[in-house]
C-alpha cells in the first residue's frame, strides 16, 4: 500500500480553486486512498448516529450533509476519470472498486442508529421551526434512506446489499463493454471509391481519426456520433453505410468477452428483486415513485400523445424518401442505413439547405463563445480561460467563472473531443458541488462538460453540425445548472434534482442557439469571418421540423422499450429475459417502423444499464421538453429572449434552486402556472391542444 503521506489523494489539494492535482494522481493511488476515505466516512457516520445528544437538525441532518468530504472528492475524481480518460489499468480498479463502493453506500444507508435519528426528525419536522430548505433536506434524506433499504431487516437487508453490490459490478461491466466495442471498430476508407459523396468536413475528421490511430494512406470512420451520423448521411456507398450502421447498432451484441446480453438480463432481474424487497411490484414503480411523473400511467399518457402522431409523420417522410430514391435509381425498400442519406437529399430539395454549406458557420470556438455570451446576457456570467491551469487531458480547457458583481462563482472545465479512453455521448458532471459551509462561506462548484466532437487536424477549426452545436448548448445548460446553484446544502445542490426535472435547464438552454440574433452574432464563416446570411438562417430555422417524425419515433421507441422492460412483474421479470428478443417483440407490438429503429438498442443503452439514473426514466427528455417548450414561452411573451425580469426568475427558480424546492412548485414559481403540453407538440410539429401536465396522480 502507498503510504498516505505520499498519496496526493489523501493530502490537502493546495491547487487553484481546490481542483484535483491531476498531474500528481496515478491509477495506483485510488485503491489505498479509498480504503482510508471509506474508513473515515464510516467513522463520521458512526459518530453522528451514536451521538448522546438528542437529534437536531444541526447535529444530525446538517452534520450528515457535511460529512464524507474526503471520500466525496476522491469518488468524484475517480468517476470523472473513468468516464473521460480511462485506461485498462483504471478500468481494472473500477471493476474491483464497484462492489466495494456499493457495499459502503449500503452500510451508510442502512445505518440503523443514523436512520433512527433522521426518522425522528422527519416525524417532528412540522414542529422544528425549520426554514423551507432545511425541511426539504430532511425530507430528501429520509426518502434517500427509505429507497436504499433503511427499513429492511435481517436477511432482507443482507440480500438488498448483495443486490446493490452485484448491480455495481454489472453496470460497470456494461459501460466498459460498450467502450470496448466502440474503440475496437474502425471503417477504413481507401481511395475515391470508398469516399464517394463525403464532403470535405467529413473527410477532414476521417483524416484526423486515421492519424490518431496510426492508419497510413487511408481515412477512418469511428463510432463517434460526430463521425458516424455524417457518414451515414453523405456516403454514396450503400454497402459501407450498411457496414457502419450494423457496427453502430450492434454494440454490445457480440458473443464473447464484451457481450452485454447476459449483463443486461441479470441487471433487469436484480432490479426487479430490488424493487420487490422495497414493496413495489416492478422496478418501474420503484423508480417513478420519486419523480414528477409519480407513476407509469402518467408516463404512458405522455408517450402515447406523441407515438402515433410521430409514426404518421414518419410515414409521410418515408414517402418523400421513396420518391427521391426512385428518381435517382437507388434500390428500395428504404433500409435503416438509407434513411439519413435520402433524408438529406429531401432536405436539400425542400429547403435548399446543404449541411456542407452550413457547417463552416458553426466552428466549435465560435459556438463556445455563443454559449458564454448567452450566459452573460441572461445571468451576468463571464468565463475567463485559465491556460496555466492543467486538467486531466490537454484537450480540456479550464475557465474561471465570475458573476455580474465580479465575484468568482465557480470553475468550468470543457472537454469537447472524442478520443480513445473516453466514453461516447455527452454529459455534465461535477468535481465539487456548490454549497455554503457551516460558517456561511461559499463552496465553489467545479463543473465539467464532456462532448464527443470529431477533432479537426491541428491548425484547422473543428466544425459542428447544427445538431452538434445544439448538444454543446444542451450540456452547457446542465453546466449552468451546477454553476448557478445557490443553496446551503450539498445534497440539494445543482443537478441533484428529480430525474424528470434535471433535463429542463439543459433542454431549455438549447433555445438560445436558434435565436436569429445569436446566430447573426456568432455563426461566422470559419474562413472569411462573414456572419451567416439571414437567408441561410431562415432556411435553417424553417428546416427544424424536418425529419421530426423519424427523430421522434427513434426516441419514443427507446423510451417505450425502457418502460416495458422495467415494468415487468412476476416470473417474466425475475427469471431474466432474452433482451434482444424482448426488444424485437416489443417493437413489433408497438408497430415501430423497422427502417427507423431506436436511439439506443438495449445492448448498448448506457442510460439504462451503465448506471441506474435513467432506468425506467428515458422518458424524462420528453417530459423535460414539455417543461422547456412552455418555459421559453415566458421569453416569447416578454418579446425579448434576454428579458431581464424573466431571466432573473429563471435563475432563481430553475437554475439556482437545486432541489431546495419541489420541482413542480419551482416551475410554477417561474412560469406562474403549471406546464402544458401544447408547446412541446407544436415544437415537434405534432399537434397542439393538450391538457396540463401536472395533475396529481
Q: pLDDT digit string (tens) for 219-247?
A: 999 999 999 999 999 999 999 999 999 99
pLDDT for the residue 687: 65
- Residue 458: all three cell numbers together: 491541428
The owner of cell 449500503 is 106
Q: Give, in degrees to the nearest 5, the angle at Cα 498 between 495 and 504.
A: 65
Evaluate whether 425 touches 452 at the Cβ level (below 8 Å). Answer: yes
Sorted by where each begins, the domain ranges of the chain are 4-109+111-147, 185-249, 261-351+547-617, 360-545, 621-683
pTM confidence score: 0.95
R_g over Cα of the chain: 25
Sheet holding 446-453, edge to edge: 382-385, 397-402, 408-417, 446-453, 427-432
SS3 (DSSP) at 278: coil
Which residues carry out catalysis?
Answer: 475
Cα gap 149→160, rounded to integer Å: 7
The CB density around residue 581, as the number of other CB atoms within 10 Å, is 10
pLDDT for the residue 473: 98
Whether 695 has a pLDDT exceeding 90, the answer reads no
Q: pLDDT digit string (tens) for 421-465?
A: 999 999 999 999 999 977 778 999 999 999 999 999 999 999 999
* Span 261-351+547-617 CATH architecture: Orthogonal Bundle (1.10)
Using a 10 angstrom Cβ sphere, with 0-12 exposed, 13-18 middle and 19 or more buried, the burial of residue 105 is middle
The number of helix segments (H) and strand segments (E) in the chain equals 28, 9
Whether 74 has a pLDDT exceeding 50, the answer reads yes
Fold of 360-545: 1.10.1370
Q: Identify the bridge partners of residue 443 per DSSP, sorted by sequence position.
A: 435
Cα gap 48→114, rounded to integer Å: 7
Buried b (16+ CB within 10 A) or exposed e, 265-274: bbbbbbbbbb
Q: What is the mean pLDDT of residues 642-652?
A: 98
The CB density around residue 60, as the number of other CB atoms within 10 Å, is 23
Whether 689 has a pLDDT exceeding 60, the answer reads no
Residue 124: which pLDDT band, with cuts at 50, 70 and 90? very high
Whether 694 has a pLDDT exceeding 50, the answer reads no
SS3 (DSSP) at 627: helix
Q: What is the mean pLDDT of residues 457-477?
A: 96
What share of the chain has pLDDT > 70, as a percent? 98
Q: Identify the bridge partners of residue 410 per DSSP, sorted by sequence position.
A: 401
- Long-range CB pairs of 579-582 (<8 Å, 24+ gap) are 579/261, 579/264, 579/265, 579/268, 579/603, 580/253, 580/261
SS3 (DSSP) at 449: strand
SS3 (DSSP) at 446: strand
Q: What are phi and psi of 593, to 5 degrees?
A: -65, 125
Evaluate whether 601 touches 579 at the Cβ level (below 8 Å). Answer: no
pLDDT for the residue 440: 75
Cα gap 29→197, rounded to integer Å: 49
Dihedral class, residue 429 (left if φ above 0, else alpha if ψ from -120 to 50, else beta): beta
What share of the chain has pLDDT > 90, as a percent? 94
Sign of the torsion formed by the C-alpha atoms of 545, 418, 262 and 97: negative
Evaluate whether 392 touches 375 at the Cβ level (below 8 Å). Answer: no
The tally of CA atoms less than 13 A away on the side-chain side of residue 391 is 25
User: Parallel, antiparallel, or unpaired for β 446-453 and 408-417?
Assistant: parallel
Q: pLDDT digit string (tens) for 9-62?
A: 999 999 999 999 999 999 999 999 999 999 999 999 999 999 999 999 999 999
Closest of 338, 343, 339, 346 to residue 239, by C-alpha? 338
Evaluate whether 527 touches 360 at the Cβ level (below 8 Å). Answer: yes
As a residue count, the chain comes to: 697
Dihedral class, residue 237 (left if φ above 0, else alpha if ψ from -120 to 50, else beta): beta
Closest of 617, 190, 504, 543 to residue 348, by C-alpha? 543
Chain-centroid distance of CA 4 in Å reads 35
Residue 291: which pLDDT band, with cuts at 50, 70 and 90? very high
Any residues with CB less than 8 A from the CB of 445 and at least 6 apart, and which? Answer: 409, 410, 411, 430, 432, 433, 434, 482, 483, 485, 493, 494
Average pLDDT value over all residues in the chain: 95
Q: Give, in degrees to the nearest 5, the angle at Cα 77 between 76 and 79.
A: 65
Helices (H), 85-153: 88-109, 112-123, 132-147
Q: What is the mean pLDDT of residues 261-272?
A: 97
Closest of 641, 630, 634, 644 to residue 682, by C-alpha? 630
Q: What are phi and psi of 524, to 5 degrees?
A: -120, 145
The CB density around residue 116, as the number of other CB atoms within 10 Å, is 14
Q: What is the mean pLDDT of residues 297-323?
A: 97
pLDDT for the residue 3: 57
Q: Identify the bridge partners of residue 448 per DSSP, sorted by sequence position.
A: 413, 429
User: Parallel, antiparallel, or unpaired for β 446-453 and 427-432?
Assistant: antiparallel
Whether 697 has a pLDDT exceeding 50, the answer reads no
Rounded to the nearest 5 percent, the helix, strand and coil shares of the chain are 60, 5, 35
pLDDT for the residue 236: 97
The CB density around residue 233, as the number of other CB atoms within 10 Å, is 22
Q: pLDDT digit string (tens) for 373-429?
A: 999 999 999 999 999 999 999 999 999 999 999 999 999 999 999 999 999 999 999
The CB density around residue 295, as the number of other CB atoms within 10 Å, is 13
pLDDT for the residue 356: 86
H or E element that contains 201: helix 200-212
pLDDT for the residue 686: 83
The owner of cell 437545486 is 658
End-to-end CA distance of the chain: 54
Cα gap 9→73, rounded to integer Å: 9
- Residue 647: all three cell numbers together: 431571466
Q: What is the mean pLDDT of residues 539-568?
A: 96
- CATH class for the domain made up of 4-109+111-147: mainly alpha
Closest of 381, 444, 391, 445 to residue 414, by C-alpha? 391
Same fold across 261-351+547-617 and 360-545: yes
Q: pLDDT digit string (tens) for 605-615?
A: 999 999 999 99
Amino acid at each position: 500500500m502507498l503510504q498516505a503521506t505520499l498519496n496526493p489523494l489523501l493530502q490537502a489539494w493546495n491547487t487553484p480553486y481546490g481542483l484535483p492535482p491531476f498531474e500528481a494522481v496515478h491509477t495506483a493511488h485510488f485503491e489505498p486512498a479509498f480504503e482510508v476515505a471509506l474508513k473515515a466516512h464510516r467513522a463520521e457516520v458512526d459518530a453522528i448516529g451514536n451521538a448522546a445528544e438528542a437529534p437536531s437538525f444541526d447535529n444530525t441532518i446538517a452534520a450528515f450533509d457535511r460529512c464524507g468530504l474526503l471520500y466525496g472528492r476522491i469518488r468524484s475524481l475517480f468517476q470523472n476519470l473513468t468516464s473521460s480518460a480511462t485506461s485498462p489499468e483504471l478500468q481494472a480498479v473500477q471493476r474491483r472498486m464497484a462492489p466495494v463502493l456499493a457495499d459502503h453506500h449500503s452500510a451508510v444507508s442502512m445505518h440503523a442508529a443514523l436512520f433512527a435519528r433522521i426518522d425522528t426528525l422527519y416525524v417532528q419536522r412540522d414542529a422544528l421551526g425549520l426554514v423551507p430548505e432545511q425541511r426539504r433536506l430532511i425530507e430528501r434524506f429520509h426518502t434517500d434512506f427509505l429507497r436504499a433499504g433503511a427499513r429492511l431487516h435481517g436477511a432482507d437487508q443482507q440480500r438488498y446489499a448483495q443486490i446493490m453490490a452485484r448491480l455495481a459490478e454489472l453496470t460497470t461491466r456494461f459501460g466498459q463493454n460498450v467502450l470496448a466495442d466502440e474503440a475496437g471498430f474502425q471503417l477504413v476508407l481507401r481511395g475515391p471509391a470508398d469516399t464517394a459523396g463525403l464532403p470535405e468536413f467529413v473527410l477532414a475528421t476521417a483524416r484526423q481519426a486515421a492519424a490518431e490511430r496510426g492508419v497510413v494512406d487511408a481515412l477512418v470512420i469511428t463510432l463517434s456520433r460526430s463521425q458516424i451520423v455524417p457518414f451515414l448521411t453523405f456516403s454514396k456507398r450503400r454497402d459501407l453505410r450498411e457496414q457502419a450502421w450494423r457496427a453502430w447498432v450492434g454494440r454490445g451484441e457480440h458473443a464473447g468477452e464484451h457481450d452485454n446480453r447476459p449483463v443486461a438480463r441479470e441487471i433487469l432481474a436484480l432490479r426487479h428483486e430490488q424493487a420487490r424487497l422495497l414493496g413495489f411490484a416492478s422496478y418501474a414503480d420503484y423508480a417513478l415513485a420519486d419523480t414528477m411523473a409519480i407513476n407509469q400511467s402518467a408516463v404512458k399518457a405522455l408517450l402515447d400523445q406523441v407515438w402515433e402522431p410521430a409514426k404518421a409523420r414518419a410515414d409521410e417522410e418515408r414517402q418523400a424518401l421513396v420518391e427521391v430514391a426512385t428518381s435517382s435509381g437507388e434500390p428500395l425498400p428504404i433500409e435503416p442505413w438509407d434513411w439519413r442519406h435520402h433524408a438529406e437529399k429531401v432536405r436539400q430539395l425542400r429547403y435548399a439547405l446543404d449541411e456542407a454549406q452550413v457547417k463552416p458557420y458553426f466552428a466549435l470556438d465560435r459556438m463556445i463563445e455563443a454559449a458564454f455570451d448567452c450566459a452573460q446576457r441572461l445571468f451576468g456570467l463571464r468565463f475567463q480561460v485559465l491556460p496555466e491551469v492543467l486538467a486531466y487531458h490537454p484537450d480540456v480547457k479550464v475557465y474561471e467563472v465570475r458573476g455580474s458583481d465580479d465575484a468568482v462563482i465557480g470553475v468550468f472545465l470543457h472537454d469537447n473531443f472524442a478520443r480513445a479512453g473516453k466514453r461516447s455521448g455527452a454529459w455534465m458532471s461535477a468535481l465539487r458541488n456548490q454549497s455554503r459551509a457551516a460558517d456561511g462561506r461559499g463552496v465553489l462548484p467545479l463543473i465539467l462538460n464532456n462532448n464527443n466532437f470529431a477533432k479537426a487536424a491541428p491548425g484547422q477549426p473543428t466544425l459542428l453540425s447544427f445538431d452538434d452545436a445544439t448538444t454543446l448548448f444542451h450540456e452547457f445548460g446542465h453546466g449552468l445548472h451546477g454553476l448557478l446553484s445557490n443553496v446551503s446544502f450539498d445534497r440539494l445542490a445543482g443537478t441533484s434534482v428529480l430525474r424528470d426535472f434535471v433535463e429542463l435547464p439543459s433542454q431549455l438552454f438549447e433555445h438560445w442557439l436558434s435565436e436569429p440574433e445569436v446566430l447573426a452574432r456568432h455563426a461566422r464563416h470559419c474562413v472569411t469571418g462573414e456572419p451567416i446570411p439571414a437567408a441561410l438562417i431562415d432556411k435553417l430555422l424553417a428546416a427544424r421540423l424536418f425529419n421530426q417524425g423519424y427523430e421522434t419515433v427513434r426516441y419514443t421507441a427507446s423510451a417505450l422499450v425502457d418502460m416495458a422492460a422495467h415494468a415487468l412483474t412476476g416470473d417474466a421479470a425475475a427469471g431474466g429475459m432474452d433482451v434482444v428478443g424482448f426488444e424485437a417483440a416489443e417493437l413489433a407490438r408497438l408497430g415501430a417502423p423497422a427502417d427507423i429503429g431506436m436511439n439506443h438498442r438495449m445492448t448498448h443503452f448506457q442510460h439504462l444499464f451503465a448506471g441506474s439514473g435513467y432506468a425506467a426514466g428515458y422518458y424524462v427528455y420528453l417530459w423535460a421538453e414539455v417543461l422547456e417548450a412552455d418555459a421559453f414561452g415566458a421569453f416569447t411573451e416578454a418579446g425579448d429572449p434576454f428579458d431581464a425580469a424573466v431571466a432573473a426568475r429563471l435563475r432563481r427558480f430553475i437554475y439556482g434552486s437545486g432541489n431546495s424546492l419541489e420541482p413542480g412548485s419551482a416551475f410554477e414559481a417561474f412560469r406562474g402556472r403549471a406546464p402544458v403540453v401544447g408547446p412541446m407538440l407544436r415544437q415537434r410539429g405534432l399537434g397542439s391542444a393538450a391538457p396540463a401536465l401536472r395533475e396529481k396522480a
